[in-house]
Structure 1
Amino acid sequence: MKARNKMRQLINQKGKVIRAVGAHNGLTARLVERHNFDAVWASGFEISSSFAKPDANILSMTEFKNITENIIESTTLPVIADCDTGFGNVNNVIETVKKFENIGVSGISIEDKIFPKMNSFVEKGQSLISKKEFEDKLKAAKDTQIDPDLIIIARIESLIAGSGMDDALERAFAYYQAGADMILIHSKIHNPSEVLQFRKLWNYPTPVVIVPTTYPMFSVEEARNNDFKMLIYANPIIRSSVKAINDTLSKLYSSDSLLEIDDDLIDMSYMFDLQKVKEMV
């Protein structure tokens, strides 16, 4: 089954909460698949961090596309591309959809902030484009896609920017009418009250996605009970990796051999398995 068909089936499966995990290269995507998650989120934050760059549209669309292509080649899971604001205006969105659909993504997420954007958890620099301008972006994306199974996710940043719940709901309705396949409502407070309120007030058929980075206590069961369709674990891989690398380097620096960290290292045979060395002729 093609990944896009699989994604559509997951969305249409009643009671299913899709669990997508952020990855930043082929290796991390393959590990997401090995642990039986449903999808990979080609995370803008993770990819930017892997280049030691801010998540602020520093990397180009082509750089993101190339990394996302490596992710797609490394997994059979559906891959959702975090395309930030679409890398510019309507014309950039058109080009983004063409290129990312061509490499095989199952979904494309774009958000309604100005370009260049700033990561949603940075306190300053959170400004939205007009509702009409983002509607135009969504319509352009839907008009551009060739495969009807490609998912376009409209990410609403009203609660991040401090524009309030009414603005979030007005934008969600406009984006639903513009053809968005899913609505992502983003919140940065440290409990799920905002997203729960949004879900209670959202009475339209477009499925809702959340990113519980700042409210990690929110469970899959709670998501199911409140009719959320997808949970995106956006950045635990890069953050846990940095912690592990820091611990390893600290131990190594204070020791006089590799023996001190040997128990912390995955066996080389596992690495060869991840690399699919046995498939080489």
Structure 2
Amino acid sequence: MQYQPKSAVANRPEGRAGPSLAQELRVEICSKSDLLFLMEAHDALSSAIAKRAGFKGLWASGLSIASCLGYRDANEASWSQFVDVVERIVDSSELPVLVDGDGGFGNFNNARLVARKLRQRGAAGIALEDSCFPKINSFVGDRHSLADIDEFSGRLRAVKDTVADDLVLVARTEALIAGRGLDEALSRASAYAAAGADAILIHSRKSTAEEVISFATAWQNRLPVVIVPTKYYRTPVSAYRDAGISTVIWANHSVRAAILAMRQVCDRIIAEESIAGVEPNIAAIDELFELLRYDELAHAETRYLNLP
């Protein structure tokens, strides 16, 4: 059975006209015309930069957000801290934001609570992974326990019953990360589709895309397939199109770029005891003002404060 786009009710930022962000994301993920690329965002500034670059949607990365809060990607940050950051990402970009919801921060009750709060903050979708709480990043260590299929399916059903089509629900299976193989990944994906998922995220830590392409081929578009090619970044995008993959997430590249850039600037300033050398290689202060729309504030002051 082929998937079909579904309708969704509005969950747009205040004052934003047109289709809801969830509707936009659903249409983009379910579209067979071309790949959707979602760019990682970890705060309002990174989301504004991604929007200006031309991305149609964002990935609110659990790893990146936790890192910027000073926590490890091991459920150390609370769901409420996470939701607060997502709100700023949505407000800054007004783009559809698919949120990395880890495993839902606990059982079915935690998962539906987080989903409801994300809907209130304007998120367009949530991706839940079949990991056990507390999770650990997919690329850290070799011990990756998977949740029971029925238990995780219950989490998905609870989220679907809570937010219906107000959020796109992406079920992420870590079967390949845990070394369980293709058959286990397909079995889990089938169960998650039956539980109400709108799309399946298949994750791999291999340096080639062979695993995910094999999954997509065997899956036969029963639901849209989402991938995260952090490790198999050398694979050409044409391979994903040929495999019928729906969505590619560039999952952590803004925060990693920021780490390198900030480290280089800090090292040079402390070595040279001057900022003169770094000034030509960093963004102008006016670019910061432009990204956060200081011009709008100036126009509003003129309008509302009766300034000359």
TM-score range, shorter chain: over 0.9
> TM-score, structure 2 length as denominator?
0.88
2-structure distance, mates of 1:219, 1:161: 25
2-structure distance, mates of 1:161, 1:108: 22
Q: Could you list the per-position Cα deviations for residues 142-164 of structure 1 after superposition, in whole angstroms to 9, with x for gaps in the alignment?
A: 11114x25200000000111111
Alignment match, 2:112:
94
AA aligned opposite 1:39: G
Alignment match, 2:156:
138
AA aligned opposite 2:219: W
* 1:165-176 equivalence runs, <5 A: 165-176=182-193
2-structure distance, mates of 1:230, 1:218: 15
2-structure distance, mates of 1:218, 1:140: 36
2-structure distance, mates of 1:18, 1:149: 20
2-structure distance, mates of 1:94, 1:24: 22
Alignment match, 2:200:
183
AA aligned opposite 1:85: G
* 1:192 paired to 2:209: yes
Q: Could you list the per-position Cα deviations for residues 71-125 of structure 1 after superposition, in whole angstroms to 9, with x for gaps in the alignment?
A: 0110121001111000100111111111111111111000000000000000133
Pairs aligned (count): 280
Q: CA deviation at 1:219?
A: 3.0
* 1:275 paired to 2:289: no
Equivalent residue in structure 1 for 2:66, among 45, 48, 59: 48
* 1:231 paired to 2:271: no
Check the 8 A contact 2:119/2:166 in 1, yes or no.
no
Name the stretch that deviates more: 64-73 or 245-254. 245-254
SS in structure 1 of the partner of residue 176 of structure 2: helix
SS in structure 2 of the partner of residue 20 of structure 1: strand
Check the 8 A contact 1:15/1:224 in 2, yes or no.
no
* 1:261 paired to 2:247: no
2-structure distance, mates of 1:157, 1:194: 12
Structure 1 residue runs of 5 or longer lacking an equivalent are none
Alignment RMSD = 1.1
> TM-score, structure 1 length as denominator?
0.97
2-structure distance, mates of 1:19, 1:144: 27
Q: Which has the larger radius of gyration?
A: 2
SS in structure 2 of the partner of residue 272 of structure 1: helix
AA aligned opposite 2:250: Y
AA aligned opposite 1:16: D
* 1:19-168 equivalence runs, <5 A: 19-146=37-164, 148-168=165-185
Q: CA deviation at 1:46?
A: 0.3
1-structure distance, mates of 2:150, 2:235: 33
2-structure distance, mates of 1:44, 1:171: 22
1-structure distance, mates of 2:214, 2:222: 16
Alignment match, 1:6:
24
Alignment match, 1:220:
237
2-structure distance, mates of 1:97, 1:4: 13
Equivalent residue in structure 2 for 1:248, among 257, 265, 288: 265
Q: CA deviation at 1:15?
A: 2.2
Check the 8 A contact 1:39/1:77 in 2, yes or no.
yes
Structure 2 residue runs of 5 or longer lacking an equivalent are 1-17, 302-308
Q: CA deviation at 1:14?
A: 2.2
2-structure distance, mates of 1:126, 1:247: 34
